[in-house]
Amino acid sequence: MDMEVTAWNSLYNAMYAQADRRPFSRATLARIFRFARPHSRRLALFLLFSTVTAALAVATPLLAGRVMDGIWNHAAVGVIVGLAALIAVIALAEAGLALLTRWLSASIGEGLILDLRQAVFDHVQRMPVAFFTRTRTGALVSRLNNDVIGAQRAFSDTFSGVVSNLVTLILTLVVMLQLSWKVTLLALVLLPVFVLPARRMGARLARLEREAANHNAMMSTQMTERFSAPGATLVKLFGRPGRESAEFGVRASRVRDIGVRTAMSQAIFVTALTLVSALALALVYGLGGAFALRGELRPGDLVSLALLLTRLYAPLTALASARMEVMSALVSFERVFEVLDLKPLIAERPGARKVPEGPVSVEFDGVSFAYPSADKVSLASLEEVATLDTRGGETVLHDVSFTAAPGQMVALVGSSGAGKSTIASLLPRLYDVDAGAVRIGGVDVRDLTMESVRETLGMVTQDGHLFHDSVRANLLLAAPEATDEELWEVLRRSRLADLIATLPDGLDTVVGERGYRLSGGERQRLTIARLLLAGQRVVVLDEATAHLDSTSEAAVQDALAEALEGRTALVIAHRLSTVRAADMILVIEDGRVAERGTHTELLTAGGRYEELYRTQFDTGTEHPDPVAA
CATH number, domain at 72?
1.20.1560.10
Residues 79 and 187 in one domain: yes
Query: How far apart (Å, rounded) are the C-alpha atoms in residues 619 and 441?
Result: 41
pLDDT above 60: residue 475: yes
Average pLDDT of the chain is 78
Task: Kindly report the pTM of this predicted structure.
Answer: 0.66
CATH of the domain at 526: 3.40.50.300
* Residues 335 and 367 occupy one common structural domain: no
CB 599 within 8 A of CB 580: yes
User: Of 83, 102, 106, 104, which is closest to residue 94 (Cα–Cα)?
Assistant: 102
Number of Cα atoms under 13 Å in the Cβ half of residue 26: 0
628 within some domain: no
The more confidently predicted of residues 385 and 628 is 385
> Residue 374 above 80 pLDDT?
no
- Pairing, β 457-460 against β 435-440: unpaired
pLDDT at 421 over 70: yes
Residues with Cβ within 8 Å of residue 510, at least 6 apart in sequence: 468, 469, 470, 517
Tell whether 400 and 493 lie within a shared domain: yes
Residue 76 backbone dihedrals phi, psi, to 5 degrees: -60, 150
193: amino acid identity, one letter: V
CB neighbours of residue 371 within 10 Å:
20
Query: Rounded CA gap, 401 and 497, in Å?
Result: 40
Return d(Cα 237, Cα 121) in angstroms, integer. Answer: 37
Long-range contacts, 32-39 (Cβ 8 Å, 24+): 32/151, 32/154, 32/330, 32/333, 35/112, 35/115, 35/116, 36/108, 36/112, 36/155, 38/111, 38/115, 39/107, 39/108, 39/111, 39/112, 39/155
Range among 28-32, 59-63, 106-110, 376-380 with highest mean pLDDT value: 59-63
Q: Output the pLDDT for position 20.
A: 47
Measured CA to CA, the distance from residue 326 to residue 24 in angstroms comes to: 9
State the pLDDT confidence band at 19, using cuts at 50, 70 and 90.
Answer: very low
Query: So what's the pLDDT on residue 625?
Result: 42
Mapped onto helix, strand or coil, the DSSP state of residue 436 is: strand
Q: What is the dihedral of CA 573, 576, 579, 582, to 10 degrees?
A: 110
Each residue of 233-256: pLDDT tens digit?
Answer: 667 666 667 777 888 888 888 888
Contacts of 203 (CB under 8 A, 6+ apart): 14, 18
Tell whether 356 is covered by a domain: no
Q: Is the pLDDT at 365 greater than 90, yes or no? A: yes
**Do residues 627 and 604 touch, judged by C-beta distance below 8 A?**
no
Handedness of CA 318, 321, 324, 328 (dihedral sign): negative
Q: How confident is the model at residue 201 (pLDDT cuts 50, 70, 90)?
A: low
Residues 6 or more apart whose CB falls under 8 angstroms from that of 262 comprise 205, 208, 209, 212
The answer to whether residue 351 is domain-embedded is no
- Per-residue pLDDT at 74 exceeds 60: yes
Which pLDDT belongs to residue 587?
A: 92
Residue 626 pLDDT > 50, yes or no?
no
pLDDT top residue among 410 and 327: 410
Note whether 411 and 521 are same-domain residues. Answer: yes
Tell me how many degrees the CA angle 436-437-438 measures, rounded to the nearest 5: 140
Share of the chain above pLDDT 70, in %: 77
Q: pLDDT of 538-591, one tens digit each?
A: 888 887 665 555 665 666 666 667 667 778 889 888 777 778 888 899 999 999
Residue 623 confidence (pLDDT) above 60: no
Higher pLDDT, 377 or 459: 459
Same domain? For 336 and 478 the reply is no
- List phi, psi (to 5°) of 413: -130, 165
Q: How confident is the model at residue 25 (pLDDT cuts 50, 70, 90)?
A: low
On the 0-12 / 13-18 / 19+ scale of CB atoms within 10 A, 547 is middle
Is residue 113 in some structural domain? yes
Do 285 and 297 meet the contact criterion of CB atoms below 8 Å apart? no
**Could you give the percent of the chain with pLDDT greater than 90?**
8
Residue 525 shares a structural domain with residue 598: yes
Tens of pLDDT, residues 273-301: 677 777 777 777 888 888 888 888 888 88
Q: What is the pLDDT of residue 629?
A: 30
The type of residue at 286 is G
The answer to whether residues 88 and 161 belong to one domain is yes
3-class SS string, 323-346 = HHHHHHHHHHHHHHHHHHCCCCCC
- Same-domain status, 291 and 415: no
Element (H, E) at 287: helix 241-293
Q: Average pLDDT of 64-93?
A: 86
Q: Which of 148, 139, 147 is nearest to 117 (CA)?
A: 148
Residue 483 has pLDDT above 70, yes or no: yes
Lowest mean pLDDT among 95-104, 193-202, 487-496, 501-510: 193-202
- Give yes or no for residue 383 having a pLDDT over 80: no
The reported pLDDT for the residue numbered 10 is 55
- To the nearest 10 degrees (0 to 180), the angle between helices 191-227 and 241-293 is 160
Question: How many helical (H) and strand (E) elements, i.e. helices and strands, does the chain have?
Answer: 25, 10
Domain annotation covers residue 346: no
Q: How many domains does the chain have?
A: 2
Mean pLDDT of the 304-315 span: 77
Q: Which pLDDT tens digit goes with each residue over 422-457? A: 898 899 888 889 999 999 999 999 999 988 888 888
Q: What is the mean pLDDT of residues 163-176?
A: 82
Q: In what order do the strands lie in the sheet with 443-444?
A: 395-404, 362-370, 435-440, 443-444
Range(s) of the domain holding residue 40:
3-340
Q: Is the dihedral of CA 67, 72, 75, 78 positive or negative?
A: positive
- 60 and 200 belong to one structural domain: yes
Give the pLDDT band (50/70/90) at residue 627: very low
Domain co-membership, 609 together with 461: yes
> DSSP strand E in 312-442: where?
362-370, 395-404, 409-414, 435-440
User: What pLDDT, on the 0 to 100 scale, is given for residue 190?
Assistant: 67
Does some domain include residue 474?
yes
Inside any domain, residue 355: no
Q: Are residues 562 and 602 in the same domain?
A: yes
Query: Can you give the pLDDT at residue 60?
Result: 85
pLDDT at 102: 81
150-172: buried (b, 16+ CB within 10 Å) or exposed (e) per residue? Answer: bbbbbbbebbbbbbbbbbbbebb
Contact residues for 556 (Cβ-Cβ < 8 A; gap 6+): 521, 524, 525, 528, 544, 545, 548
pLDDT at 196: 63
Do 484 and 450 lie in a common domain? yes
**Does residue 345 form part of some domain?**
no
End-to-end CA distance of the chain: 94
| pLDDT at res. 402 | 93
